[in-house]
Amino acid sequence: MSSNTTDSAKVEHLSEKKPDAEARSGLDRFFHISERGSTVATEVRAGVVTFFAMAYIVLLNPLILGTGEDSAGTVLGIPQVAAATALVAGVMCILFGVVANYPFGIAAGLGLNTLVAVTLVGTEGLTWAQAMGLVVIDGIIIVLLAVSGFRSAVFRAIPPSMKAAIGVGIGMFIAMIGFVDAGFVRRIPDAAMTTVPVQLGINGSIASWPTFVFVLGLFICGFMVARRIPGGLFIGIVLNTTIALIIERVTGAGSSAETGPTGWNLAVPTLPDSFGGVPDLSIVGNVDLLGAFTQVGVVTASLLVFTLVLANFFDAMGTMTALGRQANLTDENGELPDMKKALVVEGFGAIAGGAGSASSATVYVDSSAGIADGARTGLANIVTGLLFLAAMFFTPLYEIVPIEAAAPVLVIVGALMMMQVGEIEWSRFDIALPAFLTIVAMPFTYSIAHGIGIGFITFALFAVFAGRAKEIHWIMWLISALFVVFFAMDPIMAAIS
């Protein structure tokens, strides 16, 4: 090809990338759109794709947070959590887009909301307001650590294999929750006197229509992801719910509380009287900032905050690094420019999520759908945020979604997170065992914190056994020591009293 031809091709290529004059003077200059090789139209379209890739959280978060009763008998409510989830996601996506200028959507984190519902409220006996108060405190600490630069230092101190193991373990935990909530895996009563603690379905058979919906939905969602259909998980939930509505209409399976194990576990899929209306934001601001410290004690509450902070660390920073690499936005050291600014804004997601009673909001790996469609700047995030705000006015729609229709997404997300398993050095037993224990302990103990703690303590001990104790960062030793205290809490408290 001649030089003139090459030059003309370059000019033609640049002309395709160059936005109009109005955009250059406004949006383009602010978001550096053309500098990152994108256009306004591409950012808008990709922002819509990201929304559809993330929108399932507005369906799923209410099923995790909105149905359980706390120690005071309070239930947040599905429509209320749906509206709050959309509000927090909308505000944080827009804020992150304007300040950090990255196309990383933010919404209630799946692992974090489960930690709040299962551990803080379900196990520790906190009220929803007290639990959300700890989430706000978690966010304040995250912001302070990010401002100081310590958050980045901690992340660098964790060995790559353990970072990968934590991601895989959370994926396994999320998948287990999906299996159990859908009735695909059920606990066998102790009276059965069996050595097998759980079983498949009912007596080893998929014997209920709701579980059938889950199995069918798993294949539908899996197909969407395998074919890389933008918004596939959201579309999958919609299709699964439609199938559930038809099956309920034909079979009348009803609620499991009334018909037994063959019924729907939580919400019964029936059409509401209306599909839109003013969002119910009554739970926004219902936060008891210090009540948990009175309820469970200062030490226990502090350790719960520590667990939230730890979970936020690995979830957000690992996700942002991965998305940055996908979008070709990282520098030669594999880090995002202005990483500190992005981490500070992301920390406010926990504050906003706790204040909104929607659980901690964090960066979503599902943003990869929008990035694959061309998103490179915060403008895409603003589009995503505006769509989340619009979704607030359609919260009655989410009351018809049964957990069996949404649970396949948990399993799919778990499978996607398992992809990190290849980053673990399995050939070295001093690394393989801590990683393995981290992965299996999370679903088996139904606790993200327990898996992290067991893995870190084992990693530190086996570093000593392998003669490389000096290679371990002091922060790892500190975290391991704190987890030793956490696991020995009951005998320590008994000794003190």
pLDDT in tens, 54-70: 887 887 898 889 888 88
Percentage of the chain surpassing pLDDT 70?
A: 88
Confidence (pLDDT) at 192: 60
Contact 371, 46 (CB under 8 A): yes
Which has the higher per-residue pLDDT, 82 or 267?
82
pLDDT in tens, 435-456: 999 999 988 887 777 888 899 9
pLDDT in tens, 171-219: 788 788 888 888 888 887 766 656 667 888 888 888 889 999 999 999 9
Contact 378, 42 (CB under 8 A): no
pLDDT (mean) for 65-80:
88
DSSP classification of residue 199: E
Over 60: is that where the pLDDT of 426 sits?
A: yes
54 Cβ contact list (under 8 Å, min separation 6): 89, 105, 107, 234, 364, 366, 367, 384
pTM: 0.70
pLDDT (mean) for 110-134:
88
pLDDT in tens, 320-339: 876 887 788 877 665 778 88
Contact 199, 188 (CB under 8 A): yes
CA-closest candidate to residue 456, choices 427, 493, 485: 485
Confidence (pLDDT) at 376: 93
How sure is the predictor about 356, in pLDDT bands with cuts at 50, 70 and 90? very high
441 Cβ contact list (under 8 Å, min separation 6): 169, 447, 450, 451, 454, 455
Percentage of the chain surpassing pLDDT 90?
A: 31
Calculate the alpha carbon distances from 464 to 330, 397, 405, 438 in Å. Answer: 35, 55, 47, 18
Which has the higher per-residue pLDDT, 152 or 381?
381
The Cα 331–Cα 422 span in angstroms is 24
Over 50: is that where the pLDDT of 374 sits?
A: yes
Domain ranges for the chain: 32-190+199-417, 425-491
Confidence (pLDDT) at 15: 41
